[in-house]
Copies of this chain bind each other. A is one copy, B any other.
Amino acid sequence: MNSTKVAGLTFGKFLIQESQIFYRSPSQLSAAIVNLKPIVPGHVLVLSQRIAPRLQDLTQEEYTDLFQTVRIVQEKIEKHYNAKGSNVAIQDGKVAGQSVYHVHVHILPRLEGDFERNDDVYDKLEAWEPKEGEKIVKRLEVPEDEDRSPRTMKMMEDEATLYKQLFEDGEIGI
């Protein structure tokens, strides 16, 4: 490719459209995406551009860039939602509940009273991850009998477009 930009990315086995990506780090080593079934408004994922299952599989440069991206994205998203805090969580390894074997950091901006118990958010997190062998495109076509409905691609693109604007006033952006 002649361009230094990368188009879309794969999240484990899933193809993520460019339109779902709202931020890329300057090095392009990390990206931030909206997701299919957010647990709370503004629940986004920061992931490495390269498919690497575990944090320990990242190079030092990728690792540092990942968490620097978390810092930048968390700030923008919290500000947008007027959140006073976030859960930042990584299921690092299958044994820790990871189901997409590609490093991803959950950022969940929190509002007072959004969950009855603060950590109920984690119960939702377990249900969040696609089951083994399940494809995101399939989930879009066949809504599951769960309380959270998969969103349409249009909804996700609109959200990503909104979030992209959060980064436009800064010096760093896609």
Within 8 A of B (CB), among A31-73: 54-56, 63-64, 67-68, 71
* 8 Å CB contact of A93 from B56, B86, B95: B86
A117-B126, A122-B122, A122-B123 as given contacts; A94 in contact with B87, CB under 8 Å: no
**Interface size classification for chain A:** 35 or more
Task: Summarize A's interface: helix, strand, loop or mixed.
Answer: mixed
Q: How far is the CB of A85 from chain B (nearest CB, A)?
A: 2
Q: How far is the CA of A34 from the CA of B75 in the complex (A)?
A: 30
Q: Which of A56, A84, A95, A117 is packed against the most chain B CB atoms within 10 Å?
A: A95
Query: What residues of chain B lie closer than 8 Å to A112, measured between beta carbons?
Result: 95
B contact residues around A95 at 8 Å (CB): 83-85, 110-112, 118
